[in-house]
Amino acid sequence: MGMPITIEIVDSSATPDSLEKVFKYFEHVDEKFSTYKDTSEIMSINRGELKESEWSDEMREVFKLSEELKQATNGYFDIKKPDGSRDPSGLVKGWSIRNAAKILEKDGFKNFYVDASGDIEVSGRNAEGEKWSVGIRNPFNRDQIVKVVYLDGEETRGMATSGTYIRGQHIYNPHQAGPLEDIVSLTVVGPNVFEADKFATPAFAMGREGIYFIEKQPNLEGYMIDKDGIGTETTGFDKYTKNA
């Protein structure tokens, strides 16, 4: 998937095979949705080699979810590029992390952590029996943590961050020409990583208005850092920075 993936299973019943099963799933997703592999299904679709009737069920699901998100964000999320090709990467990451967590749940695990390049789904508690703690990096100094978020693994299980400080300018405002320059990081916390991640990218594309968009979403909270290093958080975000 072009990103580091970390999985931790706290339950004593976990085996190397338990981890391998989840990594195999991520490999499957990569082979199907990667826009960097000529052999992937999405690339075959973009080249016009596959008719709609030949699309996989997973591809249909992702396209459907992408269209729903486009409508919910007034077009700030759109997998269709100007040349007509599709790139669902902005939705697939959170979707696949959530599905990986479901695999672990189905296998009976209660306490685990799945992290794909900073987008995270947790369940239960960590090895010390406490909430899972996740740091938000300072986009101007990656060795520094500016906030620590505590996920309880029950009601709040997902966290996702969109930004330009690692991958550079890869998110664009579809309603305005030119790169995004007013914010550098936006973190969203929610009931699961799919809900957090699917709104993090379009909210980032909205610039400074994105944090107010997150404020209006039920069950989501956010933290934004602008180009001047000033942080802005939604009204309920501070409850996730307390390990109580």
Rounded-to-integer distance, Cα 7 and Cα 103, Å: 12
Residue 84's Cβ-count burial label (10 Å; 0-12, 13-18, 19+) is: exposed
| Close Cβ partners of 89 (under 8 Å, ≥ 6 residues apart) | 33, 35
Q: What is the mean pLDDT of residues 87-110?
A: 96
Q: What is the mean pLDDT of residues 180-188?
A: 87
Percent of the chain past pLDDT 90, that is, above it, reads 85
**CA–centroid distance for 40 within its chain:** 21
| 123 bridge partner residues | 112
Give how far Cα 179 sits from Cα of 31, 122, 137, 223, Å: 30, 33, 22, 21
Confidence of residue 82 (pLDDT cuts 50, 70, 90): confident
Q: What is the mean pLDDT of residues 222-239?
A: 96
Q: Are 91 and 69 in contact (CB under 8 A)?
A: yes
CA angle 1, 98, 172 (to 5 degrees): 55
pLDDT for the residue 1? 63
Strands 231-233 and 221-226: antiparallel
pLDDT at 163 over 90: no
Which range has the worst mean pLDDT, 63-72, 139-148, 165-174? 165-174
pLDDT for the residue 182? 86
CA nearest neighbour of 161 among 219, 74, 222: 222
Rounded-to-integer distance, Cα 152 and Cα 58, Å: 30
**CA–centroid distance for 22 within its chain:** 17
Rounded-to-integer distance, Cα 107 and Cα 59, Å: 25
Q: What integer best gives the mean pLDDT of the chain?
A: 92
Confidence of residue 172 (pLDDT cuts 50, 70, 90): low
Positive or negative: CA dihedral 116, 145, 130, 220:
negative
- Go through the domains of the chain in sequence order and give each one's CATH number: 5-241 (3.10.520.10)
pLDDT at 2 over 80: no
Q: Are 94 and 194 in contact (CB under 8 A)?
A: yes
**Torsion, Cα of 197, 29, 167, 225 (10° steps):** 10
DSSP conformational letter for 184: E
pLDDT at 171 over 80: no
Residues 116-148: tens digit of each pLDDT: 988 999 999 999 999 999 999 999 998 999 999
pLDDT at 170 over 80: no
Q: What is the mean pLDDT of residues 65-72?
A: 97
Rounded-to-integer distance, Cα 77 and Cα 88, Å: 10
Confidence of residue 169 (pLDDT cuts 50, 70, 90): very low
User: Can you tell me which residue has the tokens 């979403």?
Assistant: 217
Residues 202-216: tens digit of each pLDDT: 999 999 999 999 999
Q: What is the mean pLDDT of residues 85-104?
A: 96
